[in-house]
A and B are shown apart, each in its own frame.
Chain A
Amino acid sequence: QAQLVESGAEVKKPGASVKVSCKASGYTFTGYYMHWVRQAPGQGLEWMGWINPNSGNTKYAQKFQGRVTMTRDTSITTAYMEVSRLTSDDTAVYYCTREDTTLAQGAFDIWGQGTMVTVSS
């Protein structure tokens, strides 16, 4: 069955960068956009952007432009999301999620388990 498996928890110092991976399996990786959503402790969901795994095209939420980079490696069906210049406000669980546009825009039907990123000096 289709699934997304994310990399493990990270602890980073302020100013550093973090790169989270999302391994897709059980479906055609290049056939579905991959989105990234984050959730600060005790807070709601925040959309960060997407990558088209087929073309490599990306779209980032305005808040993250210039600080977030989404990439993919089709040979290993893995998507990546890197955040630079980390601050304590970036402490959150980061989720990758597949969008099934055959259903609808915003139909995020499969989610990774989440990667906890902690930013602390």
Chain B
Amino acid sequence: DIVMTQTPLSSPVTLGQPASISCRSSRSLVHRDGNTYLSWFHQRPGQPPRLLIYKISNRFSGVPDRFSGSGAGTDFTLKISRVEAEDVGVYYCMQGTEWETFGQGTKLEIK
């Protein structure tokens, strides 16, 4: 199974400042069709996750442009250009290339 490892596991940030979360896979996420199926989700307490990013860098409908995704192969990053109060919660990366596997989650909290 592909293992997804996120860092950091916890990230205290100041409102208005940037934040970055890394996600590394145990092997390449390049699918035989040439696409890389790496998604990011955000989960607030007591709510289901919501899709932010798919295929590394594509923002899902309605997701603010302060969220961006990048990376290739085995290393991926989610960036928030200016953190807002509503961004608190847990962020998960997930690979969809071979079965599906989630990272452990990164808790974003305000300093």
Contact = CB atoms under 8 A, between A and B. Distances in A.
Q: Say if A and B assemble together.
A: yes
Interface of A: 35, 37, 44-47, 59, 61-62, 95, 97, 103-109, 111-114
A111 B95 contact: no
A106 B92 contact: no
Given A44-B105, A104-B39, A105-B37, A61 B51 contact: no
A103 B105 contact: no
A104 B99 contact: no
A111 B60 CA distance: 14
B97 A105 contact: yes
Interface residues of B, number: 29
Contact of B51 (A62, A95, A107): A107
A68 to B, nearest CB: 14
Given A107-B54, A108-B41, A44 B48 contact: no
Contacts of B35: 104-105
A47 B103 CA distance: 11
Given A104-B55, A107-B51, A44 B92 contact: yes
Contacts of A114: 48
Nearest to A44: B105
B48 A106 contact: no
Contacts of A104: 35, 37, 39, 54-55, 58, 96
Given A47-B101, A103-B60, 17 more contacts: A37-B49, A44-B102, A44-B103, A45-B105, A47-B99, A47-B102, A61-B99, A97-B48, A104-B37, A105-B35, A106-B37, A106-B94, A108-B49, A108-B51, A111-B48, A111-B49, A114-B48
